[in-house]
Amino acid sequence: MKIAIYNLHFETFGGGERRTAALAAHLAKKHRVTLFVHRPVSIEAIKTIFRIDLSSVEIIPLQNTDHATEIAGRQFDLFVNNSHGSDLRNPTPNGIYMCMFPEAERLDLDSYRIITANSRFTARWIEKRWGRSSEIVYSACQDMGPPSRKEKIILNVGRFFADSAIVHHKRQDALLQTFKRLVDGGLHGWNLVLAGMVGTRQEDKTFVETLRNEAVGYPIQIRPAIEFAELQALYRKSSIYWHATGLGTSALEHPGKQEHLGMSIIEAMSAGAVPVVFNAGGPQEIVNHGVDGFLWDHRSELETLSLGLIEKPAMLQSMSAAAVKRSKAFNVAQFLARMDSVIYKLIPPHIGWLAQARGYIARWR
């Protein structure tokens, strides 16, 4: 088959872009795959950050072209829209809209035969906002294990965005202040590390500088633009993982500002870091409270639950092992298997083979 995959946010190198790359590489083993992006993107950069090789995938930057016309003119058999917030009409006979959260309001839903949701949380909001059922396909989460010798590190990984109405803020500011209170209250020997890519706006860069200034005098590291190998090593040696996306917003009034799934939480669990995460959105589906991590509603609970883990090494070790086991339910293999199932539900394998054969014949004419 000729398959088009669409994602206009590759320069952010976030979780959605990781799953786009994983899907493209997987499908390219049997099909002709073209990845449409907004701006030119380096295959080497993708390989360095995601450890995914897209050398067999054609990558086409669309920039200011008419996207629907450009894609339709290439006569694809299948179009997979994995661009968050996209309202692009499906320009092919068969379309899959991979929804991380139903943001778009002008979307021509009838042009897509299947919608996927990255969590039950997202599926409920697709039904509520768009009136459509969806196939739940948990995102491809990188296995960051195995755990190495654990150190006294509390980790958070997430893109650094200044708070705004258009992104779900990762609330590194709240985590930093919480850790400072723990240190002021007598916590010794532990370090907080805030890592992740930085948004492209000037206010995002200003936000990072503000965090740096507020961290002065405390065992806190701000690690923007960290490379994959370094990030993986950090996951492996961290003991606790903090997450606060959605804190300070109503899940009913602002569901889009909650964590839609929580890929970094799963990555941390795969490396044996015990998650202590905000109790809203997708993380509620990941963490079994008191078994492989903890969920919290107020910052005081974040402090109490974290201190409980720090003061009880045996419990920390036991929950670390449970976290690794739980993470397997969200790995890359399950994501690719589910996407194969969704695609074959839309285009049975024998139809796909016929389309592929027609493509070969056309090239030889």
Report pTM: 0.84
Average confidence (pLDDT) over 302-320 = 98
Of the listed ranges 279-283, 345-349, 359-363, the least confidently predicted one is 359-363
| Residue 39 to residues 10, 14, 62, 100, 203, Cα–Cα distance (Å) | 8, 15, 7, 21, 22
Tokens of 155: 């980790």
The whole-number pLDDT of residue 309 equals: 98
Q: Are 141 and 270 in contact (CB under 8 A)?
A: yes
pLDDT band of residue 12 (cuts 50, 70, 90) is: confident
- DSSP-derived pairing of the beta strands 240-243 and 274-278: parallel
Strands of 95-99's sheet in order across: 58-61, 32-37, 2-6, 78-81, 95-99, 114-117, 135-136
Which residue bears the tokens 């661009």?
A: 83
Sign of the CA dihedral with 178 first, then 122, 169, and 195 last: positive
Residue 4 has pLDDT above 60, yes or no: yes
Of residues 252 and 232, the one with the higher pLDDT is: 232
pLDDT tens digits, one per residue of 249-303: 888 888 888 888 999 999 999 999 999 999 999 999 999 999 999 999 999 999 9
Q: Mean of the per-residue pLDDT values for the chain?
A: 91
Looking at this protein, which amino acid is placed at residue 354? L
The whole-number pLDDT of residue 228 equals: 86
* Dihedral angle computed from the Cα positions of residues 350, 356, 362 and 364, in that order, rounded to the nearest 10 degrees: -110
Average confidence (pLDDT) over 102-120 = 90
The whole-number pLDDT of residue 359 equals: 47
Chain-centre distance for alpha carbon 143: 13
pLDDT tens digits, one per residue of 130-156: 999 999 999 888 899 999 999 999 999
- Domains of the chain with CATH codes: 2-140+331-364 (3.40.50.2000), 153-329 (3.40.50.2000)
The whole-number pLDDT of residue 138 equals: 94
Report the C-alpha gap between 350 and 186 in whole angstroms.
65
Which of 143, 146, 328, 141 is closest to 237 using CA atoms? Answer: 146
pLDDT band of residue 365 (cuts 50, 70, 90) is: very low
Q: Are 31 and 105 in contact (CB under 8 A)?
A: no
CA atoms within 13 A on the CB side of 179: 32
Residue 76 has pLDDT above 60, yes or no: yes
The whole-number pLDDT of residue 166 equals: 55
Helix axes 299-311, 172-184, angle to 10 degrees: 60
The whole-number pLDDT of residue 63 equals: 79
Q: Are 249 and 315 in contact (CB under 8 A)?
A: no
pLDDT band of residue 226 (cuts 50, 70, 90) is: confident
Strand, coil or helix: what is 168? coil
The whole-number pLDDT of residue 227 equals: 85
Strand, coil or helix: what is 95? strand
- DSSP-derived pairing of the beta strands 153-157 and 135-136: unpaired
